[in-house]
Amino acid sequence: MTTLAMPHTEKGHRRLGAHLLPGENSTRFSVWSTRAHTVQVRLNGQTLPLQPQGEGYFETTLPVGAGARYQFVLDGQALPDPYARFLPDGVHGEAEVVDLQAYPWQHQDWAGRPLHDCVFYELHVGTFTPEGTLKAAAERLPELAALGVTAVELMPLAAFPGQRGWGYDGVALYAPFAPYGRPEDVMAFVDRAHGLGLAVFLDVVYNHFGPDGNYLSAYSPSYFTERFHTAWGQGLDYAEPHMRRLITDNARMWLQDYRFDGLRLDATASMQDDSPEHILAELAREVHALGGHHLLLAEDHRNHPELVTEAGLDGIWVDDFHHEVRVAITGEQEGYYAGYRGHAEGLARILNRGWLYEGQFWNVSGEEHHRGKSADGLEAPSFVYCIQNHDQIGNRALGDRLQAHEGVTAAEFRGASTLLLSLPMTPLLFQGQEWMAGTPFPFFSDHYGELGQMVTEGRRREFAYFSGFSTLAVPDPQAQATFESAKLNWAERDQGEHARTLALYRALLRLRREDPVLSVRTRRALSAGTFRAATGTEGLWVRWQTEHGERVLLWNLTGEALTPRTLALPFALPPAVALYSEGDPAQPPALDTLTLGPGEAALFAPAEAEQARA
């Protein structure tokens, strides 16, 4: 086999790994290493040299196309390619040369969705369907479109060790996790979603690598630094150009080659960078330079508006809304829930201010500090609100969902859902939430031997402030049965309380889309406050006032039944019931006959608005 040495630069730097060249009959193999003296590629059973190019680069071009299997050999040691585009046998095995331009896209005219149009649906490919594959998940996409969500958010796809897991221990950022499907299966999923009007977002982890299968240090230890540390180990050195490019090129790959519409950036508070331009700002700049509606969302608990106003990201997952809602209906105040009172007053403040903590002291044991800044510079779509997500379910001892808490009624769950989906902030649902799924979502992984035990014990220590980790029989994360328990039971949707909840979600998402007042995505139209029951307990009111009219939501958090028309509100209650969380969405009750039980919610509109809708 003849070898050809050929230097290669693209976008001002070399592309590392294996890249199919035009004509599809030859592939360039490129390596950067500060450790190796000699580099070879073991290709289809042959071992061939890469030529040194200086400054740690080694390169060759060989007459092989897509489908070729290879590993790099550094000073005699065979290693997986950390830039591999596909690892069919797992993160410790051979890589496969793939052609990312070969997929025949069917929906070339897809233009994306702006953030204000997004209703996110977070799903985990391995548990979304019985099969646990991208192909099977794609078959369910028409049902999500019919539900009324507009954006699917996939939990991480980057290759991680084992056959199952959440995906936050990824080590090969460019290779889709093989048990979910091949690269073309990822593309087919995105393509089908676009054909149904669904944007597709991907959860990416750029703040740490998993503990098993990360070979970057074997190529060069300078990818990492002792200047920073994360909860998961040594910090990434974003000041090292190769680490920085690994991250920014990875984002471009998912958005350009796979045509994702945006990325959710995991744990951005742990992306510590002392470079002149923070890595988050560079990501935002490069992603937005791609044009269209490519979006970046931060998972960040700090309540820092400058992530949007200065770094240029588009939105932030807001913990305060979830935590205040949960405490309000469960009464839990363990761990980080200790920072919330669970009162209607706190919820009203969040809705008026965007989040709760704007610099107040965060007096949670072990984390005492001032937290947050004013969010006055952010508009409603930049706040991503939820009442459930993978973390807030899976970080519990049993992975139990909100409605599984012994103190939560189905009515309270539906009341919280009514609030979430009525607001102009960007809502996020977690798979199965729309029918109040009975399946849990516990933490699960597939680490072998001692590492598996260390991961299990590490999670017990990390969440020791939740009493359930010491008092309950916590499922073994390494057990196959724990993973199987998380798979959605789609048959539930047509049964009892599940079907009732699904009907409510469909009605709420239709109102959110079609109602001329609720479809306005601005905080300026929104105000919130509290009302008192005879016992002195408080419920929540939310009011929308736009040029198209007025809407009011009441959520009964008082613990007693209330008659809405008799409440002392600071405004006149609109006379027509647009939606009642416990009623038939197609036939709302009359105001004079409506009683709101504990946990229930209702939306009210002027009579003429309801006549027009009818």
- Per-residue pLDDT tens digits for 354-411: 999 999 999 988 889 999 999 999 999 999 999 999 999 999 989 999 999 998 999 9
Catalytic residue numbers read 266, 299
Task: Please give the Cα distance from 538 to 531 (Å, whole number).
Answer: 5
Beta-carbon-side half-sphere exposure of residue 308 (alpha carbons within 13 Å): 27
DSSP conformational letter for 601: E
- Can you give the length of the chain in residues? 614
Residue 472 confidence (pLDDT): 83
Task: Please give the Cα distance from 302 to 318 (Å, whole number).
Answer: 9
Which of these, 501, 484, 482, lies nearest to 493 by C-alpha position?
501
Tokens read off for 80: 């997986």
Task: Please give the Cα distance from 355 to 373 (Å, whole number).
Answer: 9
Residue 612 confidence (pLDDT): 57
CB 468 within 8 A of CB 398: yes
CA distances, 176 to each of 131, 253, 486, 492 (Å): 17, 12, 21, 31
Radius of gyration over every alpha carbon of the chain, rounded to an integer in angstroms: 26
CA angle 241–244–247, rounded 5-degree value:
150
Mean per-residue pLDDT of the chain: 94
Phi, psi of 239 (to 5 degrees): -75, -15
Which of these, 97, 93, 86, 79, lies nearest to 29 by C-alpha position?
97
Q: 574: helix, coil or strand?
A: coil
Compute how many other C-beta atoms are within 10 angstroms of the C-beta atom of residue 333: 13
CA distances, 304 to each of 82, 149, 367, 372, 610 (Å): 33, 27, 17, 6, 40
Which class for 26: exposed (0-12), middle (13-18), buried (19 or more C-beta within 10 A)?
A: middle
Residue 8 confidence (pLDDT): 44
Task: Please give the Cα distance from 287 to 283 (Å, whole number).
Answer: 6
Helix (H) or strand (E) holding 75: none
CB 293 within 8 A of CB 113: yes
Contacts 24+ apart (CB under 8 A), 250-255: 250/173, 250/174, 250/204, 250/206, 251/204, 251/283, 251/286, 251/287, 252/286, 252/287, 252/290, 253/100, 253/174, 254/202, 254/204, 255/287, 255/290, 255/294
Partnered with residue 204 across adjacent β-strands are 265
Place of tokens 């192909």: 135
Residue 280 confidence (pLDDT): 98
Tell me the angle at which helices 410-422 and 496-514 cross, rounded to the nearest 10 degrees: 10
Model confidence pLDDT, tens digit, residues 297-347: 999 999 999 999 999 999 999 999 999 999 999 999 999 999 999 999 999
Place of tokens 């019985």: 130
CA distances, 241 to each of 223, 228, 279 (Å): 9, 17, 11
Which parts of the chain sit beneath pLDDT 50?
A: 1-10
User: How far, rounded to the nearest angstrom, does the alpha carbon of residue 45 sit from its chain's CA centroid?
Assistant: 40
Helix (H) or strand (E) holding 203: strand 199-204
Considering the entire predicted model, what is its pTM? 0.96
Task: Please give the Cα distance from 527 to 352 (Å, whole number).
Answer: 6
Which of these, 236, 252, 383, 397, lies nearest to 332 by C-alpha position?
397
Task: Please give the Cα distance from 491 to 422 (Å, whole number).
Answer: 27
Place of tokens 């890589």: 95
Beta-carbon-side half-sphere exposure of residue 251 (alpha carbons within 13 Å): 27
DSSP conformational letter for 590: P
DSSP 463-527: TTTSTHHHHS-PPPTT-HHHHHHTS--GGGGGSHHHHHHHHHHHHHHHHHHH-TTTT---GGGEE
User: How far, rounded to the nearest angstrom, does the alpha carbon of residue 582 sit from its chain's CA centroid?
Assistant: 29
User: How far, rounded to the nearest angstrom, does the alpha carbon of residue 488 sit from its chain's CA centroid?
Assistant: 18
Residue 452 confidence (pLDDT): 77
